[in-house]
Each structure stands twice: as C-alpha cells, then as structure tokens.
Amino acid sequence: MSYKPKIVAFLCNWCSYTGADLAGTSRMKYAPNIRIIRVMCSGRVEPTFVLKSFREGADGVMILGCHPGDCHYHEGNYKCLRRYHLLKKFLLQMGLEEERLRLEWISASEGKQFAELVDEFTSQITALGPCKVKETVETIL
Amino acid sequence: MKLAVYWGAACGGCCVSVLDVHEKLFTVVEHADLVFWPIALDIKYKDVEAMPDGSIDVTLFNGAVRNSENEHIAKLLRKKTKILVAYGSCAHLGGIPGLANFSTKEDIFRRVYEESESTINPEKVKPQPKFHVPEGELEIPEFYNDVRALNQVVEVDYYLPGCPPQTERLVEVFLAIVTGAELPPKGSVVGALAKSQCDECKRKRTENKLVKEFKRPVDVIDDGETCFLEQGIICMGPATRGGCGVRCIEGNAPCRGCYGPPPDVPDPGAKMLSAVATMIDANTPEEVEKIVATIDDPAGTFYRFSLPGSILRRKVIV
C-alpha cells in the first residue's frame, strides 16, 4: 500500500477558505490528503495548534491566509508570518524537517492556485515520508 | 501526620528549599513525623517498602524521572502516600534535567564516556545495569532514553512549581494541609498564582513591544525599570505563572519560566514563542528571518523547564 500523508491545513475564513470553496464549486480536482480547519484569521493559528497537529499524527501542516495588506483584521497575517519563521526554527531544533510546515497566501479568487498548492505540498510531503513525532512520543515509556 | 521528601533526577535545591523553612521547621516537626528524606535521614528503601500502603500523609517528590530507580521510588511512594505533591519544576514539567530530551541516551553516553575532554576510556566502557563480579551480581539503575515529569509516571495530586519553590509557599501549603483547610481539587497547581509574572512585575511597560533585534542580557545595559522584552531581552514573564514574587526580575534578571505556564496553557514554550514572535518588527519574510536569527536557541530558551511536559516532549527520533 502506498504511503498517503496526512495534512492539516488552517485556512483563514475571509480569503483562503473562500478560495478553497471556489476550488470546490468550480469542481477542480486536488489531492484528498488535506484536512481543512477553518479559522477566523491566520493570526489566530497559535503555534500550539501546529505542534498538536504533528503530535496527533500529521505529516505536514499548512497555514493559509490573506495576501499581505489584505488581512480582514489589518495585520493578523503579518503576526502569522512572524510566528511561522520562529516556529520553523524551533521545529528544526526539535528534529523536524522545516518543509513540513508551510505558510502561503491564497485570496478568495485563487481557487486554482489553492488546488495546485495542495497538490504540490502533498507531493512534497509524500517525498519526505511519514513524520516521526507521534511515533517518537509513543516510544516514551 | 507523616511526611516524606524524595529526590528523583534533581540538583538538591528543592530539598534545600524545604530546609529553608528555618525555625519554622520546628512547627513542621511539631505536626509531622518525617518518615523518609534521603538527604537528611538515614532511612532505607526497604524501610519504605515495609510501610503500610497509604500510611504516609504527604510526600513532596522533587526531581524528574530519569532512571529506573526514580521510577521505582515514584511508584512506591505513590502506593504509600495519600497526597503526592510534585514539588519543584523537575517533578512538575521535567525541569532542567528535561533538557536532556534534546538528546538520546546514546548521545549522552557517547559524550560522557567517550568524547568529553577529560575522559580516558580507550575500551569505551559504558555503564551496564548488571555486572558480574566474583562476589556476585552488581546492579545499578537503568538510565532511560527519556526524562519524564512525575505525572507521566504516576498520578499526582498537587503541583508546587518553582526552581526551587519559594519556601513561604511551601509553608502556606503545608499549614493548609495540617489545619485541615479545604484543599483545592486534585491536580491543581498550588503555591502559585493563576496570573502571569507580568501581572506582578513592577517594571514600566508600554503597548509598543516591537523590536528589531533580540539581545542577550549581557549585551544590554539594563536601566533597571523598563520591561525586559521592550529592551529586546527575552523574559519568560508572559508565559509563566506568578507566585515567586518576581524574584529574578527584582534582581534585574529576566524571568526564566521555572513556575511553568498559567492555567489553560497546554504548552508553555509555544505560548512564549507566539508572544515573542509578535514582537518582531518586520513584515517581509527576509526581514523577519533576520530578526529571528537573533534568537539563538528558541527551543532551549522557551522550554528551559518544561520540555518533557510539552506537546512534543522530546526531540524527534529518526
């Protein structure tokens, strides 16, 4: 049986979730590995959410928000950007590949870009193979 | 009342903080029989094993669980004790010994028994849990791959955080137990506040926390009154419970986070990471990266006392 990665994606309500919706209503096809969680803003995505995703068995995590300057709350996506870079540095120290976490901007009209991004990220994570966080924690007595 | 104090993987500081009750020790001894305390009393493990189950009223367990001896005594004391208190940062969340979860047993043994500058060990002899000598078999505790907090080994009734806990808090908790005051629900953190360090901190702060660079305390001439974070120095205050009397900050050193996270924060490091990241004064990936690069060791800094008790618990083993 070929490996099917589990991907958790946090999508902001105003741009990216609507973009994903557009991909759906336009009947675009994309990889089914993604589990979408709608949040009000990419700035709402706490690092805890990402860590918890990996702990529960996610192989990759995506955070999608509005393009810079377009945030419904003015600067939520900038806060997300700052957290993302620090979080990546932390994940590297914890022995994870930094490619397992991805931040991208998807607007409400970018259904096509969304579908392509999901396909591309899914194949990237497939190439990386399973994430070992859950397994590691389970080896602890 | 019967009282026991035990140290697992600990430095001894927690036991000293118990001794720091000074003359109040007489009040303690008036109310309590000290039945087991390796640092102060010569009582053997077999004596503890011989005690009836549930016969010790309160055990203050300090230190993390690093080896099979720590685990054995944790389980033994759990059986013998009515109220088991995880005393201090190491028992609470893993503490400083928990930083070993950035390595493996193999890494540690290689460093200590092969590579360290003062080691001469051409045969690469490593400790074995069992060893045969003409007189019989010798046994030492098994060193585990992971450091664990006490509640990852046995059920814990209360947590009294701190590195070490403030002695005054211990006395308060102890008196609450002996006077029969109503105790908080099981699993509570006692001897600490629900609010963060920042709520108690007297340093001046503004709404503007944005910084272009993070600095080590040694690189800043602290004015003694401005919020450390606003000076670009990482201070764990926002992600740490109050209750210590902001001792480090009063001593002009930033908070290191030994009291653990406030209630409802599942992961202290992630909370701190979130708070620190939003201070970064940049809006493009390149500029953000540049400022992030000025934080040398986010994992070790944000999880200094809490790695085993965090969501990821240890560095991933590949």
State pLDDT tens for residues A61-101. Answer: 999 999 999 999 999 999 999 999 999 999 999 999 999 99
| Token pair belonging to B282 | 């940049």
Q: Does A74 touch chain B (CB under 8 A)?
A: no
| Residues B32-41, mean pLDDT to the nearest whole number | 92
- Asked if ipTM goes beyond 0.90, one says yes
Q: What does the domain layout of chain B look like in residue ranges?
A: 2-97+147-189, 104-143, 197-302
Beta strand pairing call for B130-133 and B136-139 = antiparallel
CA distance B314 to chain A (A): 7
Q: pLDDT value at position B172?
A: 85
User: In this structure, which topology does domain A7-139 adopt according to CATH?
Assistant: Rossmann fold (3.40.50)
Neighboring chain B residues of A95 at a CB cutoff of 8 Å: 315-318
B273/A47 CB distance under 8 A: yes
How far is the C-alpha of B132 from the C-alpha of B122, rounded, in Å?
21
Is a pLDDT exceeding 70 seen at residue B221? yes
CATH code that applies to domain B2-97+147-189? 3.40.50.700
User: What pLDDT, on a 0 to 100 scale, did the predictor assign at position A1?
Assistant: 61
Find the helix or strand (DSSP H, E) in which B61 lies.
Answer: strand B56-62
Strand order in the sheet with B188-189: B33-36, B2-7, B56-62, B81-87, B158-160, B188-189
Q: How far apart are CA B293 and CA B301, in angstroms?
A: 14
Tell me if B157 sits within 8 A of B85, measured CB to CB: yes
> Distance between CA A132 and CA A124 in Å, rounded?
16
Q: What is the pLDDT of residue A2?
A: 84
Residue the block writes with tokens 């709404």: B207
Helix residue ranges per DSSP H, chain A = 16-25, 47-55, 76-93, 111-128, 133-139
Q: How far is CA A79 from the centre of its chain?
A: 16
Find the mean pLDDT for residues A32-52. 97
Residues of chain B contacting A86 with CB distance shorter than 8 Å: 273, 276-277, 280, 292, 295, 298
Among B278, B294, B310, most A C-beta atoms within 10 A, so best to mutate, is B278
- Chain B contact probe: residue of A10, A41, A42, A48 with most B CBs at under 10 A: A48
> CB contacts < 8 Å between A and B, how many?
106
Question: Average pLDDT of B195-212?
Answer: 94
Calpha distance B96→B297 (Å, rounded): 15
Q: Which sequence spans correspond to the domains of chain A?
A: 7-139
CA–CA distances in Å: residue B100 to residues A126, B241, B313? 31, 24, 11
What distance lies between CA B310 and its chain's CA centroid?
Answer: 12
Q: What is the average per-residue pLDDT within B247-251?
A: 95
- Nearest CA-CA partner of B171 in B246, B77, B13, B60: B60
Range in B33-47, B91-105, B162-176 with the lowest mean pLDDT: B162-176
Q: What is the largest CA-CA distance in chain B?
A: 71
pLDDT of B149 > 70? The answer is yes
Residue B313 has its nearest CB partner, among A46, A90, A140, at: A140
Which residues does chain A have within 8 Å of residue B315's beta carbon, measured at their own beta carbons? Answer: 93-95, 136
pTM of the model: 0.94
Q: B143 at the A interface (CB within 8 A)?
A: no
The four Cα atoms A4, A9, B307, B144 give a dihedral, to 10 degrees, of -10
B299 touches chain A (CB under 8 A): yes
Q: Which chain B residue lies closest to A69 (C-alpha atoms)?
A: B283
Percent with pLDDT over 70 in chain B: 100
Q: What is the pLDDT of residue B29?
A: 79
Most B CBs within 10 A among A81, A86, A137, hence the mutation to make, goes to: A86
Collect all residues of chain A within an 8 Å Cβ-Cβ radius of residue B270: 46-48, 51
